[in-house]
Amino acid sequence: MIIRLAVYVGLGILLALFWRAWRPGPRLRRQGKEAGEAMVFDPACSTYLPSAKALKQRVGGQTYHFCSRECAESFEAKSVSHADPHGSVRV
């Protein structure tokens, strides 16, 4: 009888621990990544970030998304250095 009770309590504890570890909902919300939120690519530092937090900037007639002002400025500086004499930008 006591052994059965100990087994049930042990299984209950293990189940509770695994349930918390495997359920993705709260962990995603803590990181600010709600389900279905669109992610955009930052070409300067090669990372993805939520579109709501991205800085949008047009460079060479195309819109890019950046995680910070520094990334936007470094990308723009690189694209200006790769511009050909006719004004088009190679990225």
Whether the CB-CB separation of 83 and 76 falls below 8 Å is answered with: no
Residue the block writes with tokens 């998304």: 65
Alpha-carbon distance of 30 to 48, in angstroms, equals 17
Q: What is the pLDDT of residues 55-79, one digit of tens each?
A: 999 887 889 999 999 999 998 888 7
- Residue 90 pLDDT exceeds 50: no
Q: Where are the domains of the chain?
A: 1-32, 37-91
Degrees to nearest 5, angle at CA 21 with 53 and 15? 155
Alpha-carbon distance of 61 to 27, in angstroms, equals 38
Alpha-carbon distance of 44 to 69, in angstroms, equals 11
Q: What is the pLDDT of residues 21-51, one digit of tens each?
A: 665 555 544 455 555 678 999 999 999 999 8
User: What global pTM score does this model have?
Assistant: 0.51
